[in-house]
């Protein structure tokens, strides 16, 4: 949760540099203002911004296909959009989509070389993931939990805790506000080589409401990020991460994703993010961190790794003993990453 007051901050020209928490909830989370500049539809021309970027939809022929929503129902990608003022929509394309698409349309090795050459690209991708995560849950405002229109129901967004989205909103629009972001603010983030196949398509997207994790697969590589842990996931799991010495399968990727969300959900002391302004309105996003990252006691944890993992692999398991497998996963008796000796299971080396 952010240690933010309820007051918004404007520059001398009236530009909204910072939405106070109350304004964020009233105007962005529950209102109809542009989620970047804050303009209303009667102040500026609006159009639709794709939640999943247009270049991804075109590359993977996703327009006629369906994404699964938090309530388990599906929605067509081509219609999966959120309103945004036309001016900000254009700027999002220039700042995020052009450079990101140029980078991520390369092969895995070339992407790694580009990131090594220019580490600022890590920060750009992280902010882009914050933007996509924000849009997915702004879209939830317009979708009912029960999609049967004959029944009364509440919006999917009613299950969200918007206070936790405030920080992600600040990061996503930092290009617009010119905010300087302390390096310790950025969350866990890594790119892994992936194995395609198993009858599963080469694009995948998923996020977690509680762990603020994002997963995206694009052909031969996958991205995993946690948006508000300030690197705690990678810090606490660094020894295991170092054992991964090959491409991961779809099941292994979901296990990594589940572990990262588990860590963030069960942090004993959370990062506290702040937006600070100098007298001349210079904006900086900072964080107060504990001396070291640690998890709550087992008896106090909200979700286990197994519980999270079973949710993400359940649609992928097609065998007759599915119930038994899911139970073993939930109990922590079955995993996909490491063998009984603790070594990474590298399927590219199996005959």
Q: What is the pLDDT of residues 7-32, one digit of tens each?
A: 899 998 999 999 999 999 999 999 99
Closest by CA position to 129, among listed 189, 66, 202: 189
Question: How many Å apart are CA 164 and CA 228, to the nearest integer?
Answer: 9
Q: What are phi and psi of 276, to 5 degrees?
A: -115, 145
Residue 2 is predicted with a pLDDT of 38
Mean of the per-residue pLDDT values of the chain = 93
| Beta-strand pair 283-288/180-181 | parallel
Q: Percent of the chain, pLDDT > 90?
A: 85
Residue 199 is predicted with a pLDDT of 45
| Three-point CA angle 345, 347, 350, nearest 5° | 105
CB-CB contact of 307 with 206 (8 Å): no
Q: What are phi and psi of 89, to 5 degrees?
A: -60, -45
**10 Å Cβ neighbour count for 184?**
12
Q: What are phi and psi of 104, to 5 degrees?
A: -80, -10
Where residue 179 falls among pLDDT bands split at 50, 70, 90?
very high
Closest by CA position to 304, among listed 347, 255, 351: 255
Which region among 257-261, 330-334, 345-349 has the lowest average model confidence (pLDDT)?
A: 345-349
- Which residues, including other chains, have CB under 8 Å from residue 74's CB and lie 6 or more apart? 66, 67, 68
Residue pLDDT, tens place only, 87-126? 999 999 999 999 999 999 999 999 999 999 999 999 999 9
Pinpoint the alpha helices (H) of 5-75. Answer: 21-23, 54-59
Inter-CA distances, 81 with 49, 53, 268, Å: 5, 10, 36
- Which residues, including other chains, have CB under 8 Å from residue 47's CB and lie 6 or more apart? 83, 84, 86, 89
């Amino acid at each position: 949760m952010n240690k933010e007051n309820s007051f918004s901050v404007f520059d001398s020209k009236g530009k909204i540099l910072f939405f106070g928490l109350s304004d964020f909830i009233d105007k962005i989370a529950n209102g109809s203002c542009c989620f970047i500049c804050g303009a209303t539809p009667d102040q500026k021309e609006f159009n639709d911004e794709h939640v999943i970027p247009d270049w991804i939809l075109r590359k993977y022929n996703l327009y006629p296909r369906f994404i699964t929503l938090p309530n388990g129902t599906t929605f067509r990608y081509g219609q999966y959009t959120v309103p945004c003022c036309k001016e900000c929509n254009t700027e999002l394309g220039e700042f995020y989509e052009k450079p990101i698409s140029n980078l991520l349309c390369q092969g895995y090795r070339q992407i790694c070389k580009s990131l090594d050459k220019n580490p600022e690209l890590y920060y750009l991708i992280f902010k882009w993931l914050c933007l996509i995560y924000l849009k997915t849950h702004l879209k939830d405002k317009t979708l009912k939990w029960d999609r049967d229109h004959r029944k009364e129901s509440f919006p999917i967004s009613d299950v969200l805790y918007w206070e936790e989205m405030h920080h992600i909103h600040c990061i996503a629009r930092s290009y617009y506000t010119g905010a300087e972001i302390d390096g310790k603010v950025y969350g866990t983030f890594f790119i892994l080589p992936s194995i395609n196949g198993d009858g599963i398509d080469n694009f995948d997207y998923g996020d977690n409401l509680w762990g603020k994790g994002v997963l995206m697969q694009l052909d031969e590589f996958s991205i995993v990020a946690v948006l508000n842990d300030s690197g705690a996931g990678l810090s606490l799991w660094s020894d295991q991460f170092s054992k991964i010495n090959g491409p991961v399968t779809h099941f292994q990727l979901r296990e990594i994703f589940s572990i990262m969300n588990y860590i963030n959900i069960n942090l004993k002391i959370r990062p506290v993010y702040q937006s600070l302004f100098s007298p001349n309105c210079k904006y900086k996003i900072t964080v107060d961190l504990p001396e070291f990252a640690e998890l709550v006691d087992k008896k106090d944890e909200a979700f286990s790794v197994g519980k999270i993992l079973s949710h993400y692999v359940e649609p992928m398991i097609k065998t007759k003993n599915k119930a038994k497998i899911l139970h073993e996963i939930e109990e922590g008796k079955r995993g996909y990453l490491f063998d009984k000796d603790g070594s990474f299971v590298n399927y590219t080396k199996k005959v």
